[in-house]
């Protein structure tokens, strides 16, 4: 568990950095803030934050340093000029967005400087920061995560250590975002079709929600198939689904819509069928995705 009354510094006061700072101050955690543009940092002073005159001063003032800068390059640009002794006895949690590879390289960079480092990913929008069920992912040294568990729980009550590989938090973040954006894009394309025929988006919404409610069981089945490496078509098969996907493409074309999104799904299914797997289930598509087109 965390030590009593830890001090925290937040580097970066954009929308997410400000939300993290707000959560810390609300929980009475002594918090120092720094931002390249001081005006953004000053907005936190009225709530009780201390403004550091430099990033180095912010680091030296804290037990735990939280980086919420734009990306790995921006993070390095801020941290590299700081003398190594400033980091001794302190830990850094880096929330800068990155690919898994970039997260691992950032952790290697920190290790070369003997700096304690946790890679993090924030899985909620700013209004939900600090909520009991707000999901935050962390990867890296487990002992470091445990040492600061109390403060991390302030940021999001669902704080999960997902492994010692520093790339894992970013990897899961990337995968979850793909599911999220693909779902929203599918809904919007379908909505473009139905509104193109005179319905309202709100007319279609209850029907879309029916499909969303089916997804959890469907995803569980896909996951079992992928882990087993078998793609049974006992309840559905790609030949049947290819016909339905063709209808989506044709309807989209008839309405003059951008049909790239449904074509991706149709073409993946068609490639699997052409390869002799028409009797397999949709889970077979993972094999198409695993090899370049």
Output the six-digit token pair for 44: 């936190």
Q: Do 48 and 25 form a contact (C-beta atoms < 8 A)?
A: yes
Helix, strand, or coil (residue 81): coil
Helix, strand, or coil (residue 57): helix
Q: Edge-to-edge strands of the sheet including 31-34?
A: 50-51, 31-34, 8-11, 64-67, 91-94, 116-122, 135-140, 158-163
pLDDT in tens, the chain (293 residues): 444 568 999 999 999 999 999 999 999 999 999 999 988 888 899 899 999 999 999 999 999 999 999 998 999 999 999 999 999 999 999 999 999 999 999 999 999 988 999 999 999 999 999 999 999 999 999 999 999 999 999 999 999 999 999 999 999 999 999 999 999 999 999 999 999 999 999 999 999 999 999 999 999 999 999 999 999 999 889 999 999 999 999 999 999 999 999 999 999 999 999 999 999 999 999 999 998 76
Helix axis angle for 100-112 and 72-79, nearest 10°, is: 10
Domains, the chain, with CATH or none: 8-165 (3.40.50.720), 196-289 (1.10.1040.10)
Give whole-number Cα distances, 237 to 66, 93, 147, 241, 271, in Å. 48, 46, 50, 6, 14
pTM: 0.92
* Short-list 115, 136, 113, 156, CA closest to 23: 156
């Amino acid at each position: 568990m965390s030590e009593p009354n830890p001090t925290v510094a937040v580097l970066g006061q954009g929308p997410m950095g400000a939300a993290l700072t707000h959560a810390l101050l609300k929980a009475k955690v002594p918090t120092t803030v720094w931002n390249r543009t001081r005006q953004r940092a000053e907005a936190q002073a009225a709530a009780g934050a201390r403004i550091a005159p430099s990033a180095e001063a912010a680091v030296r003032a804290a037990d735990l340093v939280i980086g919420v800068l734009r990306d790995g390059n921006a993070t390095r640009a801020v941290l590299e000029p700081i003398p190594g002794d400033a980091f001794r006895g302190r830990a850094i949690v880096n929330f800068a967005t990155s690919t898994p590879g970039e997260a691992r390289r950032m952790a290697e960079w920190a290790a070369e400087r003997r700096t304690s480092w946790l890679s993090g990913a924030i899985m909620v929008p700013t209004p939900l920061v600090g909520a009991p069920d707000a999901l935050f992912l962390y990867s890296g040294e487990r002992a470091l995560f445990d040492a600061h568990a109390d403060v991390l729980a302030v940021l999001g009550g669902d704080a999960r250590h997902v492994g010692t590989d520093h790339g894992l938090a970013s990897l899961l973040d990337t995968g979850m975002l793909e599911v999220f954006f693909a779902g929203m894009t599918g809904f919007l394309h379908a909505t473009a079709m139905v509104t193109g025929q005179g319905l309202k988006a709100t007319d279609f919404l209850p029907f879309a929600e029916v499909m969303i409610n089916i997804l959890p069981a469907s995803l569980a089945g896909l996951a079992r198939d992928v882990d087993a490496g078998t793609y049974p078509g006992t309840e559905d098969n790609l030949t049947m689904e290819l016909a339905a996907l063709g209808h989506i493409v044709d309807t989209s074309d008839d309405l003059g819509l951008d049909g790239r999104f449904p074509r991706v799904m149709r073409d993946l299914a068609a490639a699997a069928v052409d390869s002799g797997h028409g009797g397999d289930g949709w889970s077979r598509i993972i094999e198409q995705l695993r090899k370049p087109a």
